[in-house]
Each structure stands twice: as structure tokens, then as C-alpha cells.
């Protein structure tokens, strides 16, 4: 008989809880970005800049305190910081053109990208059933884009298709970042990753702000209603970045991105109740597709975990038998040598 209690281990429950926590954080960043967009504030890099500064101050100070050399080359973190800044720029910029719901749903494009990258570079094994789940999720993504094309009564932005393409490009960069972070956090140090990402992210952001967003920042009327969304976005992003490496180490990049799909449901509630916007009926079909794809994908995870446990137990038993055989052989050899010596005497 299969013991289903083993599936709900402490690690599994913590992973599920952290996944939903980061999902809520992503929803809150979408809400604050949408609020800034509604107020005519278009400074996507500036929004992310304060998050990188917080990461650099908090984790950088701890790195200086413990005085340990870097475990990874610094230019890895420079490249990671550059890609992360541009991914945030593209996704935040998309709020100027498309709806909050579309941005949250189109994030699921990162899932097939993550699966391909982890399979290609981290040698992660995936069964056919997992690929079927991902295909269904992507089918939901296609429905969102199609709904943005044909819906005439939406209040979803000035150029939905342009916004959708920005989100897909940003999600691709997020996938590259997530897989890179999974590799670095499993082979390096989480504190070092966050500190160096904060330092290089802040440097890249400041350069980009000085070139593209100086005039925008000067034109902003800095009232409380404009400052609070900036602060909320930065704090939510800081907590998100601090939690993601823990989840990556426990569950991997694919489960992180699957967990973030639940943020879509929160996005719809915000759009309906906070903004009083109409939601096209195709969104609900897309939700159903994403939910089914998630169930199909995760449905074999428990089976894989059980097989892994059985294989691990088999390996342990095999190792134990090998050790016992080696000890028996050693005892036999020792006894034979002793008899030979006694015979000579």
C-alpha cells in the first residue's frame, strides 16, 4: 500500500507555502505597477532600482561582515544583474500597454523556457506527462493573446499586443535568470548571490536611468499617492528576491514558475473589484487551461518522488551489501593469512 502521508513532507509543505507567498508578492508588484501606470508615471527601471539598492545594502553588509571570498566569478553576477534589470524593465513597461490580467497570465511563458533550459544545461529529467501539462499551460497563454486581439470592450491598455510581446520577452529573460539563479544557489552561496545581484543590478539600473528616464523623473509630481506605490513595489520586490533563492534550492525553477501561476487569480480579483474593469470570457477559459496544465504537470511529481525514494533506498541497500561483502572478503583473507602463518610456525 502506498503511504500518501510521505508526499506531504515538511519540505513539500514549506515549498508550497513559499510558492504562494511569492505569488502574492508578484501580484502586489503588478498592482503597484498598474497604479503608477494609471497615474501616468512611466519609469520602469527606477521602480526596480530601489529594490537592488536594498539587496546591496542588506546582503552586501552581511557579506562584508563575514569576510568570505567570492565563491563564483564576479562577471557571472554582472551578466545576471544586467538580464534581471532588462527583464524587470520589459515587464513593468508592459503595464503601459496591456492589462494587469494579461501581464500576470503571460508570465506562464517562462515555464516552457525554464523546462528547456534546465533540461539543456542542468540535465533535469522530465517525463512526457510534464510536457503535456506545459503544453496545456501554453494553450492558455495563446487564448489570452487572442482575447486581447478580438475583445472590443476591454479596458486593457492602449496597445495590448505590444504589451503582450513585452511580457513574453521579459518572461524569457526571467526564465534565463531563474535557471541561472538555481545553478548559483545550489553550487554557491545565497547571501553572495543576493548581495552581488543587488550591487550589479543597482549599477546597471543607475546607468539606464541616467540615459532614458532622467526627464521622466523630473516631470513626476512627487505626492504621497505617487511615492507610496514606489515604496510598496520596492518592498515587495525585496521580499520576493529574498525568498526566491530558498524556493529554488528546495523545489527548482519549474516549480517556482508554476507556483506563480496562482497570481493570475489574484490579478483577476484586483481587476474586477479594485478597478471595476470587465474581464473577457476567454480569460476564464485560459484560467481553466492553466489550472488543468498545472494539475497534469504536478500530478506525476508525487510518483517521481516515490520512485526517487525507492531508487535511493535501493542504492543504499546495494551499497550496504557491497560493504558487507567487502568485510566478509576481508575477514576471509585475514583468516587465511593467519592459518598460513600458523602453518609455517
DSSP classification of residue 280: -
Cα 266 to Cα 105: distance, rounded to the nearest angstrom: 11
CA angle 214, 88, 142 (to 5 degrees): 130
Using left for φ > 0, alpha for ψ between -120 and 50, and beta otherwise, residue 252 falls in: left
Helical residues (DSSP H) of the chain, grouped into ranges:
10-38, 44-66, 74-94, 100-106, 110-121, 128-150, 160-187, 190-212, 214-219, 224-251, 253-259, 263-269, 281-299, 301-344
Q: Which residues of 185-194 are buried (b: 16+ CB within 10 A; e: fewer)?
A: beebbbbbbb
326, three cell numbers: 567487502
CA angle 142, 143, 149 (to 5 degrees): 95
Cα 145 to Cα 131: distance, rounded to the nearest angstrom: 21
Return per-residue pLDDT of the chain as tens, 345 residues.
444 444 456 776 787 788 889 988 998 998 898 888 888 888 889 999 999 999 999 999 999 999 899 999 999 999 999 999 999 899 888 888 887 667 767 777 888 889 889 989 888 888 887 788 878 877 877 776 676 665 544 455 678 888 889 999 999 999 999 999 989 988 889 999 999 999 999 999 999 999 989 888 989 888 998 899 999 999 999 999 999 999 888 878 877 887 787 776 677 777 777 777 777 777 778 778 877 876 776 665 544 544 444 333 444 444 444 444 444 544 554 444 444 444 444
State residue 123 phi and psi, 5-degree precision. 60, 35
Amino acid at each position: 500500500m502506498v503511504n500518501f502521508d510521505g508526499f506531504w513532507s515538511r519540505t513539500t509543505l514549506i515549498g508550497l507555502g513559499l510558492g504562494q507567498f511569492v505569488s502574492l508578492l508578484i501580484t502586489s508588484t503588478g498592482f503597484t505597477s498598474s497604479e503608477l501606470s494609471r497615474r501616468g508615471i512611466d519609469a520602469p527601471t527606477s521602480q526596480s532600482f530601489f529594490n537592488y539598492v536594498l539587496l546591496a545594502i542588506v546582503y552586501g553588509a552581511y557579506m562584508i561582515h563575514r569576510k568570505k571570498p567570492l565563491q563564483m566569478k564576479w562577471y557571472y553576477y554582472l551578466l545576471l544583474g544586467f538580464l534581471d534589470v532588462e527583464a524587470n524593465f520589459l515587464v513593468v513597461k508592459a503595464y503601459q500597454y496591456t492589462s494587469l490580467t494579461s501581464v500576470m497570465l503571460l508570465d506562464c511563458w517562462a515555464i516552457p523556457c525554464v523546462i528547456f533550459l534546465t533540461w539543456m544545461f542542468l540535465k533535469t529529467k522530465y517525463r512526457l506527462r510534464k510536457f503535456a501539462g506545459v503544453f496545456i499551460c501554453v494553450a492558455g497563454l495563446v487564448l489570452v493573446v487572442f482575447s486581447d486581439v478580438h475583445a472590443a470592450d476591454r479596458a486593457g491598455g492602449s496597445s495590448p499586443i505590444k504589451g503582450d510581446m513585452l511580457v513574453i520577452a521579459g518572461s524569457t529573460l526571467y526564465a534565463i535568470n531563474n535557471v541561472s539563479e538555481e545553478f548559483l544557489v545550489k553550487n554557491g552561496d545565497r547571501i553572495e548571490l543576493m548581495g552581488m545581484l543587488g550591487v550589479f543590478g543597482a549599477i546597471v539600473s543607475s546607468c539606464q536611468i541616467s540615459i532614458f528616464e532622467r526627464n521622466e523623473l523630473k516631470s513626476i509630481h512627487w505626492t504621497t499617492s505617487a511615492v507610496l506605490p514606489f515604496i510598496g513595489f520596492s518592498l515587495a520586490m525585496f521580499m520576493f528576491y529574498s525568498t526566491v533563492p530558498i524556493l529554488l534550492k528546495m523545489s527548482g525553477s519549474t516549480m517556482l514558475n508554476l507556483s506563480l501561476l496562482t497570481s493570475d487569480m489574484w490579478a483577476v480579483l484586483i481587476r474586477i473589484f479594485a478597478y471595476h474593469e470587465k474581464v473577457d470570457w476567454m480569460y476564464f477559459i485560459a484560467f481553466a487551461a492553466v489550472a488543468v496544465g498545472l494539475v497534469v504537470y504536478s500530478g506525476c511529481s508525487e510518483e517521481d518522488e516515490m520512485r526517487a525514494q525507492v531508487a535511493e533506498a535501493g542504492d543504499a541497500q546495494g551499497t550496504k551489501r557491497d560493504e558487507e561483502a567487502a568485510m566478509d572478503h576481508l575477514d576471509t583473507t585475514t583468516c587465511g593469512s593467519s592459518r598460513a602463518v600458523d602453518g609455517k610456525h
